[in-house]
Amino acid sequence: MKSTIPDTGVPITPSAANGSDRQEASLHGEILLRLRDYVVEGNIPDGARVPERQLCEMFGISRTPLREALKVLAAEGLIELLPNRGARVRQLSQRDLEELFDVMAGLESLAGRLACEAITDEEIAAIEQLHYEMYGHYLHRDMHGYFQANQRIHESIVAAARNETLKTAYANFAGRIRRVRYSANFARKRQRWAEAMREHEAILDALRRRAASELSDILFQHLRNKRMAAIEHLGEPQGDVSAAP
Amino acid sequence: MKSTIPDTGVPITPSAANGSDRQEASLHGEILLRLRDYVVEGNIPDGARVPERQLCEMFGISRTPLREALKVLAAEGLIELLPNRGARVRQLSQRDLEELFDVMAGLESLAGRLACEAITDEEIAAIEQLHYEMYGHYLHRDMHGYFQANQRIHESIVAAARNETLKTAYANFAGRIRRVRYSANFARKRQRWAEAMREHEAILDALRRRAASELSDILFQHLRNKRMAAIEHLGEPQGDVSAAP
DNA sequence: GGCGGCTATTTTGCATTCATTTTTTGTCCT
DNA sequence: AGGACAAAAAATGAATGCAAAATAGCCGCC
């Protein structure tokens, strides 16, 4: 039998008794969470078929709840469902990525604006803390630590917006590009890195002054620059990753 | 047999052979579209149960594709799924509405920003056209016409952003509040109306000058004001509409 | 030897069926 | 009479079964 999930050689394992012990009442709910992670983590190559049968065995369930989860993931934009031809991991074109980054930029820009209305001094202090932490990683050229601190800063801003709807939407879009971000961020140029640090200082400054529309602008530009840095280096390996001879 | 869809006395009709003749290849896809409309149009009271069985008969299908559609609608935030207790039309609290309006404001603000980068003179002219049309409705106190022209203006701005992802997200959130908007808009005060007209002129002005961040600000404020106008009058009939003695 | 058409197998889409859980109804007891 | 409990009815959640479509394998043909 020829596996339909190609090449990777990665054996299909059910996310190994998921680390985060969240639990869903319904089966389809759990499957949804697990399958989403499975896709987001990149266990299935871009554009590859997602055979129902195999996933059913992998999760040890019947096709009904799995198909329900697939429909939801399709609605979220992570996979696409071709009529009578099954589900495929959605292949994001460069254009798609640009669009996604811009929407993320818009959401963060909004988050900043809203945060200015409600953020407390303590929250700002916490973000400053993260900022210094990030600066330390920057000095030590610790990309991974830097990336994490960076992410936490942005999440803090979103949290300070006091808008669960926004937070959910943000998480959703973040999930869609996570696959790409993993690979993209490690290609960041040194120069861009320094630039990003300066931008972050401006962000913090605007936040302290609660300058809503200014912060909104800065955040948008910051994310726009991020988009450039993340996408330009992609070049053309857009088609099939495994296609390179 | 007592119908679970209460009170309204509205007989369940299958969206009367849907006017828009869009067609989906798959059954669940069509059901999704029809059911979404059915809910958005307010055929089911807030918080009421959405009985699978009844809907199946109504659409003439089995439960499988219907349940798939329900899962998607739940993911979209239109309904909520209580474990073992079926689907309910999601009841939006006042806070939910505020959040939704703010997110919409953020998206439109983003749309304006992006539109400044790519909009053509022809598109601006078309929006001006709509603006004058809307002004006419305003003068004639034609609320319905005004509302439609207004909506088309905002849609035009979103379209000019050249971002399908944004467009989709926008449509999604718009759908969630449409139920409320119908009732909310008719309560608009005269004064707010005039204010909105002025804001629209400022929008047009900024758009002509391609002043991205300025337009972004104006659009956000415009939507924020809309939010106030739409929500304040809601007062307290937030709980159960049918609860008033 | 390559290509096009035909059949067999797999896979998808939906309906149906089965097992639980919830909700309702009826009855009994206080 | 009212409330609590219990059994019946209905609804939900998931599995299985079946028809249609797609993929692949195969053979004949050019």
Condensed to tens digits (0 to 9), the pLDDT of residues B33-89 reads 999 999 999 899 988 888 899 999 999 999 999 999 999 999 999 999 999 999 999
pLDDT value of residue B97: 93
pLDDT value of residue B180: 73
pLDDT value of residue A186: 52
Is a pLDDT exceeding 90 seen at residue B105? yes
pLDDT value of residue B244: 35
Question: Nearest 5°: CA angle at B198, between B195 and B200?
Answer: 110
Q: How many CA atoms lie within 13 A of A59 on its CB side?
A: 25
A86 phi/psi in degrees, rounded to 5: 80, -175
The C-alpha of A136 sits at a distance from chain B's nearest C-alpha, in angstroms, of 32
**Chain D, protein-covered positions (CB within 7 A):** 10-17, 21-23
Question: Nearest 5°: CA angle at A44, between A39 and A48?
Answer: 115
pLDDT value of residue B242: 38
**Tally of CB atoms within 10 A around B119:** 21
Asked if A83 CB < 7 A from strand C, the reply is yes
Q: What is the mean pLDDT of residues B177-192?
A: 67
Domains B1-91 and B94-232 agree in fold: no
Q: What is the mean pLDDT of chain B?
A: 84
| Band of residue B194 on the pLDDT scale cut at 50, 70, 90 | confident
The C-alpha of B241 sits at a distance from chain A's nearest C-alpha, in angstroms, of 23
pLDDT value of residue A168: 96
245 residues of chain A, pLDDT tens digit each: 333 333 333 333 333 334 445 667 788 999 999 999 999 998 998 888 888 999 999 999 999 999 999 999 999 999 999 999 999 999 999 999 999 999 999 999 999 999 999 999 999 999 999 999 999 999 998 888 998 999 999 999 999 999 999 999 999 999 998 877 655 555 556 778 889 999 999 999 999 999 999 999 999 999 999 888 887 766 544 444 333 33
| Band of residue B179 on the pLDDT scale cut at 50, 70, 90 | confident
Of A163, A216, A220, the CB nearest to B102: A163
Per CB-CB distance under 8 Å, the chain B contacts of A114 are 102
The C-alpha of B99 sits at a distance from chain A's nearest C-alpha, in angstroms, of 6
Sketch the domain layout of chain A as residue ranges. Answer: 27-89, 94-232
| Band of residue B234 on the pLDDT scale cut at 50, 70, 90 | low
Asked if B34 CB < 7 A from strand C, the reply is no
Return the CATH number of the domain spanning residue range B94-232. 1.20.120.530
Asked if A4 CB < 7 A from strand C, the reply is yes
Question: What 8-state DSSP symbol labels residue B20?
Answer: S
pLDDT value of residue B200: 96
Nearest CA in chain B to A162: B99
Contacts of B49 (CB under 8 A, 6+ apart): B4, B5, B86, B87, B88
**Would you identify the CATH topology of the domain B1-91?**
Arc Repressor Mutant, subunit A (1.10.10)
Of B26, B81, B99, the CB nearest to A165: B99
Asked if A56 CB < 7 A from strand C, the reply is no
- Identify the residue whose Cα has the smallest distance to the C1' of D12: B84
Query: Helices in chain B by DSSP H: which ranges?
Result: 27-40, 52-59, 63-76, 94-118, 121-139, 143-160, 164-185, 190-208, 212-232
pLDDT value of residue A27: 85
**Would you identify the CATH topology of the domain A27-89?**
Arc Repressor Mutant, subunit A (1.10.10)
Percent of chain A with pLDDT over 90: 63
pLDDT value of residue B9: 30
